[in-house]
Amino acid sequence: MQVLVFSDPHGRIPLLLRIVGEARRRLDVAFDLILVAGDLGVWPDPLALDSSTRRCARADPGELGFLHFAPLGDGTVSGVPGGGLRDPAEVDALVRSFCAAAGVDSGDHLRSIRRERELLDGLLPELRCPVLFVGGNHEDYDYLLRCRDLAHGQESCPVEGTGMLSWIPSGRTVRRGLSVAGLSGLDAAAAGRSPARYHEAIRIDDDRTLSFLEQAASGPVDVLLSHDGPPGFPKDGKGSDRILLAVSELDPLFHVFGHYHASRAPALYRELYPELSTCRTRAIHLNKLAFLPGGALRERAVGLLRWSDAVPSFELLDAPWLRALTAQSWHRLTL
């Protein structure tokens, strides 16, 4: 079992898949699964972006990456036959509408989105591994909830026409023998946050936590996947006691999370929290999948989970080929 893990692409799905394809080639591995710990950036309509994403997308068209994928359920989108991607002309029109509303010139955005589409057309025929994600605080939850309704009670629900990207709303799912407990959203009242800022579906409260634990405790958990993290890790004064409760109850092998756009090495829960002295879980915080102002990829943004002879292991990828993926070069199929 070989699983790549990411967090916080914020729409940079073509970049994420570019890394998957390059890792597959460089490591000579057919990955079984891709996990994303929130803020995948599911926005099928660029005019529906939240204020933070809209502000970021004005400067960085990478935030609009989900536009390449044909959405489900509204009957208005013409995907490429057999491909599940939107027609390129339709994507161009959506980008133009966003740029007009945002008051920015569309030239750079269109050039970027067209390079991404060329990359996707080359990558997708070779990629067969599913991508499972939990929702963060920068997704279109009205759309995600419609996708959940279309899935008719499935533990994870497709959110676009290729069938590659699937959302875990809250609960446990098993894919290719790996048991993943997914908890979407944020503890909206923790660390001084104001719950009113967030869509109702984002807010993790006591009732949602208990409901999640009831669903997830139906069997053993290999990976707990969440967007929010435990208190004090990786940032002092941030995090959620409800996440800590979920870890203590489920005792997964790994807890993968993001949100804080920081960089800190993995750690054992029993070393972080004295009250969890018998806990086996390793806390893995992943940095935002994005480029720094100078063009380099953020460190600690890509991880690899392995099960060899049933023995689990984790490593942060920091190979020369990964460092060679820069804001200027990543869209090329060969480095």
- pLDDT tens figures, 232-274: 998 888 899 999 999 999 999 999 999 999 888 999 999 999 9
Are the C-beta atoms of residues 21 and 124 closer than 8 Å to each other?
no
Percent of the chain residues past pLDDT 90, beyond the cut: 79
In a domain, 329, yes or no: no
pLDDT of 301 above 90: yes
Are the C-beta atoms of residues 284 and 317 closer than 8 Å to each other?
no
pTM: 0.95
What phi-psi label fits residue 129: left (phi over 0), alpha (psi between -120 and 50 degrees) or beta? Answer: beta
In a domain, 328, yes or no: no
According to DSSP, residue 298 is labeled P
Annotate 264-285 with DSSP letters as a single string.
---EEHHHH-GGGTT--PEEEE
pLDDT of 75 above 80: no
For the residues 56-77, what does the mean pLDDT come to?
87
CA 175 to each of CA 131, 163, 166: distance values in angstroms, whole numbers, following the listed order: 10, 14, 11
What is the model's pLDDT at position 74? Answer: 60
Strands 165-167 and 131-133 come out as parallel
Cβ-Cβ contacts under 8 Å for 218 (sequence gap 6 or more)? 172
What is the model's pLDDT at position 192? Answer: 67
CATH code at position 319 = 3.60.21.10
What is the model's pLDDT at position 84? Answer: 87
pLDDT of 191 above 80: no
- The residue segments making up the domain with residue 256 are 2-323
In the beta sheet, which residues pair with residue 171?
Answer: 182
Q: What per-residue string of b and e applies to 26-49 under the rule 16 or more CB within 10 Å gives b?
A: eeeeebbbbbbbbbbbbbbbbeeb
At 297, which amino acid appears?
L
Peptide bond before 81: cis, by omega within 30 degrees of 0? no
pLDDT of 40 above 70: yes
In the beta sheet, which residues pair with residue 306?
Answer: 2, 313
For the residues 141-163, what does the mean pLDDT come to?
93
What is the model's pLDDT at position 310? Answer: 79
In a domain, 330, yes or no: no
What is the model's pLDDT at position 197? Answer: 82
Task: Give the total number of structural domains in the chain.
Answer: 1
What is the model's pLDDT at position 80? Answer: 44
Are the C-beta atoms of residues 49 and 11 closer than 8 Å to each other?
no
Q: Rounded distance, CA 29 to CA 26, Å?
A: 8
* Helices 107-123 & 88-102 angle (0-180, nearest 10): 150
Q: Rounded distance, CA 207 to CA 225, Å?
A: 19
What is the model's pLDDT at position 104? Answer: 96
Q: How confident is the model at residue 186 (pLDDT cuts 50, 70, 90)?
A: very high
Backbone angles phi, psi at 21, to 5 degrees: -65, -40
